[in-house]
Amino acid sequence: MRNGNVLLTGASGFVGTHILIELLNAGYAVRGTLRNLDRGKDILKIIKPFVPKDFELEFVYADLLKDEGWGTVTKDCDYVHHVAAPISLDVPKDPDAFIPAAVDGTLRVLNAASKNNIKRVVATSTLGAVTYGEKINKEKVFNDGDWTDPNYKGINAYIRAKTLAEKAAWDYMKNIDSNMSLTTINPGLILGPILDPQDAGVSCEGIKQMFTGELPMHPRLGFSVVDVRDVAKCHMLAMENEKAEGHRFLCGGDFAWFSDLGAILREQYPDRKIPKMNMPNWMVHFFGIFNGGVRQLRDDLNRTQHVDIQKTTKILGWQPRSVKEATIATAESLIKLGIV
């Protein structure tokens, strides 16, 4: 029996594909947006082992940079998961390069959803929209009331755009007369099983580079780590739980340095040449000239990111997997897919 109709933006992405699997297993009919409809065949093959034989799924074209189509794709849906977002390992020359798709795209989705009487929009934000804007404080534990300063010079273009997009979403909700509600999910560093060799997830790049030697030493970088399966589950719980209305849910696990992830990999794969040494900070700045992933993160050196997820666990009943499980799941999928 069908539970309802759901629009999922960014259905072919690392997070989007896992949310798609969650929704189909829960009996929802899903309409997934793609910028290239040819990708639909690939996604169907990828999800087939993880979903029931009978499911309702269609792929539709929609572009965050264009007004056209959003009214049509949101029509007759009960819920929207807005996951699509611009992201790249390359650092754009223009710090505002991602804003049109992130901010304007989010507003396009919300506006169309409101006009079509959507019950709830669950939007994917980031812990990056929570944890920047103050001096490093190792004792600081961030909660859902904290906000990143989008003008803080230490953030990259992606985090700036995502922060502005989430702020724009909440401001939009304050100024409309609608029964539609909004909930945002703010994940940390997303690891976990990669399903699609064409989209290995930018956040998994560090694990890949430890295997390939592109990252020969560990930069002093750390994150609140979360498994992509738990991110997908958090989205589902936020959609279905009435008490989730109007909340930001921090979706992060334990804090781990890159060196901690490396230690897990060395223990699990003793025959692989996983880095052992830490990279001096001056070398990170130099290495960032050649490595786009490092270049985006060099302002995060020595920065902790401890977050309070009590509201997420209490209201949603959500519990994250361990850092070790998420890290090994990432590595296993990279090996299985022949990426490393």
Give catalytic residue positions. 162
Tell me the chain's radius of gyration from C-alpha atoms. 19
Give CA separation, 308 vs 127, 186, 304, in Å. 11, 12, 13
Instruction: Supply the DSSP symbol for 67.
Output: S
Instruction: Please report how many Cα atoms fall inside a 13 Å half-sphere around the Cα of residue 230, on the Cβ side.
Output: 28
Give me 164's structure tokens: 């502005």
Please give the sequence-ordered ranges of beta strands (E in DSSP) within 145-246, or none if there are none: 181-187, 189-191, 222-227
Instruction: Supply the DSSP symbol for 212.
Output: H
Q: Would you give the end-to-end CA distance of the chain in angstroms?
A: 41
> How are beta strands 222-227 and 255-257 bridged, if at all?
antiparallel
Q: State the Cα–Cα distance between residues 26 and 55, nearest whole angstrom.
A: 10
Phi/psi at 163 (nearest 5 deg)?
-65, -50
Side chain identity at 327, as an amino acid letter?
A: T
* Cβ-contact 131, 146 below 8 angstroms: yes
Name the one residue in this structure whose structure tokens are 């798709």. Answer: 101
Measured from the Cβ of residue 253, the count of other Cβ atoms closer than 10 Å reads 24
CA-wise closest residue to 81 among 143, 129, 13, 147: 13
Q: State the Cα–Cα distance between residues 135 and 28, nearest whole angstrom.
A: 44
Give me 62's structure tokens: 């929609």
Give me 218's structure tokens: 């560990």
> How are beta strands 79-82 and 5-9 bridged, if at all?
parallel
Side chain identity at 33, as an amino acid letter?
A: T
